[in-house]
Amino acid sequence: MTIKEAQETVDNWIKTTGIRYFNELTNTAILMEEVGEVARIMARRYGEQSFKKSDEAVDLGDEMADVFFVLVCLANQTGIDLTEALQKNLEKKNIRDAERHRNNEKLK
């Protein structure tokens, strides 16, 4: 599935199953909540925190998909073409960071 197809699929799901989009502020709050869930898993799986019994069966991929879903909702609501935005962002990074990381002693 392309990013464009993901945007179309989410939009269709919202309009049929979800009834309508939550407003942008609500979706921003939901995005922060979902990112927090990913952070909790990362801290336990790769960091120094231990899992609680209730967290042992969590699916990191599913939680990342939740983040992506809400991000796509916000893009759809605000008229952002995520394919175009990502392409522009990568162009910016290629110019800005062309030598930056190679010259970073901390990365060697």
C-beta pairs of 47-55 under 8 Å, 24+ apart in sequence: none
Residue 6 has phi, psi (to 5 degrees) of -65, -45
What's the whole-number mean pLDDT along residues 58-84? Answer: 97
Look at residue 48 in the predicted model and tell me its pLDDT.
Answer: 93
C-alpha pair distances (Å), 46 with each of 38, 39, 72: 12, 10, 27
Q: Is the pLDDT of residue 68 over 80?
A: yes
Give CA–CA dist 16/86, Å, rounded.
27
Domain residue limits, the chain: 3-107
* pLDDT tens digits along 43-65: 999 999 888 887 778 999 999 99
Architecture of the domain spanning 3-107 = Orthogonal Bundle (1.10)
In residues, how long is the chain? 108
* pLDDT tens digits along 7-18: 999 999 999 999
Confidence category of residue 103, pLDDT binned at 50, 70, 90: confident
